[in-house]
A and B are shown apart, each in its own frame.
Chain A
Amino acid sequence: MEKIKVTVALSGLNNIDSPGPGVPVIRGLKESELLDVRIIGLAYENLEPGIYMHELVDKTYKVPYPSDGVEPFLDRIRYVHEQENIGVLIPNFDSELFTVMKSERILKEMGIRVFLPTLQQFEERHKSNLPEFGKKYEVKVPYSEPILNLQDWRGIEEKFNYPVVVKGKFYDAHIAYDREQVSIYFNKIAAKWGLPIVIQEFIRGTEVNVVAMGDGKGNTIGAVPMRKTYITDKGKAWGGITLKDSAMLELTDRVISQTRWRGGMELELIRTAKQELYLIEINPRLPAWVYLAVASGQNLPEALVLLALGQEVKPFDEYEVGKLFIRYSYDMICDLKAFEKFSTTGEL
């Protein structure tokens, strides 16, 4: 069968110690037997490693930060599209999703497809809305409340027992054992990611995760559960292993079917000693460890592009249990000319 030729533009090329999902998503797409992809990287910083990984990324363009607003972003995408004829756009950062979702109609008119959660799905799974989400979809979630300042925390402090988890809107989470630590982490996270900060009940147990894909009609296209076996000081997985866990898969199916989730997602769960599963977060995109799912038999990045193209995708019904990933760092040697070209022209 002839492969479908498609140009995919994506972000998340920061394959650093706390990596974005771009490079793993590209690896899945490059290994696809159904797609013949040309990869266009979208980078924010001059030193994102993916820019210089020419065996994976055909060309990279620098793009403005989402915080600069929708218009500068769309102008840049319009320019890239004129040069490259983008077929599918995959935003790999949480912070980009809102901008791209808001622009879905305009992108479609330009001929660029995306396959993302709806604005409603995106909003209701927000960390600050998790208690309502849990109630609505009958999923166990830790008690949490958003705060805008430390005065707010003093007002609700008695509803919690220490330790508590202090979380950023998009990224970052720290366990705080007293009011002083809450104050330290509040300031640290707010300075980096803005407000609100979410204070979450601390659930003792083992963190387990699921990477999954919903077709937007309530069907699970694929789902692979994993446990991080080695965690960095930033809380990122250095190693992980696929699990055989029907309860995690049932929970994923329930969330996807009830929300009619559209696109990739990562469920962050805590399994307690009593084997109860608590949903602590839904990330509305494929995670950086998605290549483990590809290697276990579920090429979810490929499914994402096929769904974006309006193709019928048969759900995956199996994956290899006990498949491991181990991250490693590697010093890529680059020519100064390449760095110069990207930093001055914004293209490489």
Chain B
Amino acid sequence: MLKLKSNVAISESGFVFDAGAGDSFSLNATGLEIVQLIQAGKDFPEILQILSEKYEVDPESFERYFYDFVATLKQMNLIEQDGED
């Protein structure tokens, strides 16, 4: 399961702060929603279901965007190394 690093704090505005590295990032509203779902312990099928109910998006496109986004989170060192999906 995907897990954000314990040092990572996310504010309601979408501001992400990695207290270990001192890096900060900004998420847009959709990114924030996805990260909050990851933080709540939801896995990909659950996130897909929640967001499909809310937005018009086909599952294939969403899956591609989702894993692109997760790859970015990993590249930014925001995801635990052993927290693979």
Chain A contacts to B: CB under 8 angstroms: 206, 226-227, 229, 240-245, 321-322
Shortest Cβ distance from A227 into B: residue: B22
Residues of B with C-beta under 8 A to A227? 21-22
CB of B10, distance to nearest CB on chain A (Å) = 13
In this assembly, does B45 line the interface, its C-beta being within 8 Å of a C-beta of chain A?
no
Q: Is B52 an interface residue (CB 8 A)?
A: no
Q: How far is the CA of A240 from the CA of B19 in the complex (A)?
A: 12
Interface size class of B (residues with CB under 8 A): under 10
Q: Tell me the total A-B contact number using a CB cutoff of 8 A.
A: 20
- Residue pairs across A and B with Cβ atoms less than 8 A apart, 20 shown, are A206-B21, A226-B22, A227-B21, A227-B22, A229-B22, A240-B22, A241-B22, A242-B22, A243-B19, A243-B20, A243-B21, A243-B22, A244-B7, A244-B19, A244-B20, A245-B20, A321-B19, A322-B9, A322-B17, A322-B19
The minimal Cβ–Cβ distance linking B81 to chain A, given in whole angstroms, is 10
4 closest A-B pairs by CB: A227-B22, A244-B19, A241-B22, A321-B19
B residues in contact with A244, CB < 8 Å = 7, 19-20
Q: Is the interface of B mostly helix, strand, loop or mixed?
A: loop
User: Bound complex: CA of A322 vs CA of B8, how far in Å?
Assistant: 11
Chain A residues positioned under 8 Å from B21 (CB to CB): 206, 227, 243
Q: Across the interface, which residues of B come within 8 angstroms of A242, CB to CB? A: 22
The CA-CA distance from A206 to B77 in the complex, in Å, is 13
B9 contacts across to A, CB distance below 8 A = 322
0/1 string, B1-26, CB within 8 A of A gives 1: 00000010100000001011110000
Q: Which of B7, B19, B20, B21 has the most CB of A within 10 A?
A: B20
Q: Which residue of B lies closest to A247 (CB)?
A: B20
When distances are taken between beta carbons in the complex, the residues of chain B under 8 Å from A229 are 22
Q: Inside 8 A of A321's CB, which chain B residues have their CB?
A: 19
Closest residue of chain B to A321 (Cβ to Cβ) is B19
A240–B22 Cα gap in the complex (Å)? 8
Alpha-carbon distance between A243 and B20 when the two chains are bound, in angstroms: 5
* B15 CB → nearest A CB, Å: 11
Q: Which residue of A lies closest to B9 (CB)?
A: A322
